[in-house]
Structure 1
């Protein structure tokens, strides 16, 4: 690691110089299967030709105007992303954390201006074990001590309940509650799946109590779990989708919230903004991403190859637990080994993955991965676990 960078990451000892599809190559010319895909930012693999073509074409025209002026790529992106989510409107930003902050502001202002919550009393319910980003507001309602230690004081107005517990959620809702903010599947926590029916129950409680359901689909959305959104597994439609990562196709940072006008119209000129949010380059790439998803091909690939991945992982020894939804898996390593140690061994065997929370490893290969590559991933993991 360079001596000139902050030590806020502890990366695997590999230096990547080139990448294409599901594979990366280090500075020494060794190739690795990418089983992380940039925490789902690379759902369509490295250097997808359609996304590169969109970026190259836009680079030759205009890349940034700021939202002080209109540009010819914005309306197309907004219309197509809204249609993909079945909503009226979008508000684009850059990073996932910015989109979460935007959703928090939308929910609070909706609570005051539409629901009628008294000024400065709005509360938002979140889940234990959540990960929504690393701004000071967001880490303030995290239960991860590494993320929040010595960054206080924190923003008030958040109530945390156990993930997947509908009774606890209902008990936490009161007259000040304006929204629930949940990941349909908790990613950083280790691909933690909720109980069957939980999303449906959350939707019903929100309807019963006039509360917004805000779904953070930054990692779980855009094809990763075998549907366009993880909420689709229970045919549940939240009031607000929070999107990021794969929306930029691994080319540029792009994020957005997507909602109907009854929520989105709480924003007025000057109340929120971003210099780079919705820039021409981002809109060109984001539109190409939406076009890829509109065919359903990648969702279908995630379903089919996810079954292959799940079946393969289920047959491996050396795991305490396996959780799979589409091409997204969380595995808990048995025998006292750490996830980091196993990931280092996987790296030496030609597969890149990432540990989280001690013994857990997340697997999220690009959706362009092949059957042979999934089998290689499972076989390599099996060899490492057996070693």
Structure 2
């Protein structure tokens, strides 16, 4: 006659199951324990069948994990230190400069630690375009098809399945999932990326995670920021450890080309300024050019102006969230012709456009502001400082 495991042994077994099943199993075990002895054996048999099924799914997810390699990026040199902190602490704050590789390499470090098997590694981005492009980049590095081990979910669109280990999404999607799953039980790890942007969504998530973490001791949280002041995030999470990852620095030549300040002529002056700057860089044989603009309309107008006046031999490529996936993918493909990429500030921190040698900044950007009068989040176009350009 087989020996029934002790309560502690059963709890240890449950802790190895899928994270989404664990709460249900603990509740069922409690009900079985309080029932009549005559009924327990039959219920325990059915219970262990469900536990065994969940354990098999965890093993299948482990078996489907791709081979992990790391490119030559600054974060790769510190991956052992980062892994040790994630192992030892429930919350880790990572401060990494733009281009350090934190967005694409952190999920891979988590996979190497055995995260992502009991539940998904949820990875939030503030913008839809960034969520899709980062998911595609990680999938390419892991040599897997997008939608399999690496997936994404944005509003009205998504690619994921039961095999998905890493899931990219906007912070708004994670907020929406809280409604149906308050304990976020489908995740065993969460990465809140670009937390320095401090939108309402990100601030709400930071507050919610502080409430949730004591109730989910198995859940790991990694908060990343590109700022030099991560201590505020650390203090919020009871002095969570902070690790800094520096980016690569290169010599940069700054050129300022003021345009007119007359509001009626400002847009026309700005377009002419972009055309003139592109021509100047072309004469210097500088290479691929990235132009920062404030929105889709401004990108379309600049593309039209450059198509009439741009130097020969350049491809003009827009980059904004409403483009189709195929059009967005053109930005990241290998190319031989020189390019002028017209983008919003999504290309400043959320993703890295390859091959860029020169940047033209128009000096304005859409800044997220909360209006006290209308009680809604707004995106007014505001001038930025020369230091921020």
Shorter-chain TM range is 0.3 to 0.5
TM-score between the two structures when normalised by the length of structure 2? 0.33
TM-score between the two structures when normalised by the length of structure 1? 0.33
Q: Which is higher, the Rg of structure 1 or of structure 2?
A: 2
Q: Which has the higher helix share?
A: 2
